[in-house]
Amino acid sequence: MLTYETLDTPDGPFTVVEADAAVVAAGWSADADELLARSRHRGEAASPGAVASADAVRAYYDGDADAVAATRIGPVGTEFRVRVWDALHAIPAGETRTYGEVAAALGSPNASRAVGAACGANAIALFIPCHRVTGAYGALTGFAWGVDVKRSLLERERARLAVSSRSDAP
């Protein structure tokens, strides 16, 4: 059974769809069907209700950028795409990597376009942090939910890191 919940965020409505307590689709839309069309659950119906991951989204927007990283997710993709998505989890909040850097880290330095395609196929936005991947030289490119949302997420994460590092200073 698929259940979805839509949350109000500073970046607009954010909907999370869960199946068996795992996030299977998420993004900045109030339309669960739109999100499901990007996932392996295309064409299936979801019912509105409370989802466990909603607390992680709220915590993220309240300043805990790592809250979503601990959430159970259910991505489905090719072996390479799953490897890319796993690599994105290794990018610390507030930091970015280029498509080429991710490809090189996976041992496929010529696969930057394939990394971009994996990011574009990510049906679980925010939980798989494809917003932390940029074009060459840090250019903000290619985000399904718009470059403005990508910029907002990165600025939010960087601002939180700056506050944390100041409070950790002697």
Report pLDDT for 53: 97
Output phi, psi for 32, to 5 deg: -60, -35
Do the beta carbons of residue 154 and residue 143 sit within 8 Å? no
Tokens of 115: 């990394």
Residue 48 and residue 160: Cα distance in Å, rounded? Answer: 32
How much of the chain, in percent, has pLDDT values that exceed 70?
94
Report pLDDT for 153: 96
Instruction: State the Rg of the chain over Cα.
Output: 16
How much of the chain, in percent, has pLDDT values that exceed 90?
79
pLDDT band at 163 (very low <50, low <70, confident <90, very high): low
Report pLDDT for 35: 95
Tokens of 70: 């601990």
Q: Which tens digit of pLDDT belongs to each residue from 76-129?
A: 899 999 999 999 999 999 999 999 999 999 999 999 999 999 999 999 999 999
Report pLDDT for 161: 67
| pTM to 2 decimal places | 0.91
| Concatenated DSSP letters of 70-86 | GS-B-----HHHHHHHH
> Which residue is it, tokens 């307590």?
21
Report pLDDT for 168: 54
Out of 24, 93, 126, 130, the active site residue is 130
Report pLDDT for 159: 87
Do the beta carbons of residue 58 and residue 40 sit within 8 Å? no
8-12, 22-26, 155-159: range with lowest mean pLDDT: 155-159
Whether 170 shows a pLDDT value over 70: the answer reads no
Residue 58 and residue 39: Cα distance in Å, rounded? Answer: 23
3-7, 84-88, 159-163: range with lowest mean pLDDT: 159-163
The candidate with the shortest Cα–Cα distance to 40, out of 122, 160, 147, is 122
Is-catalytic flag, 130?
yes
Identify the helix (H) or strand (E) that includes residue 39: none
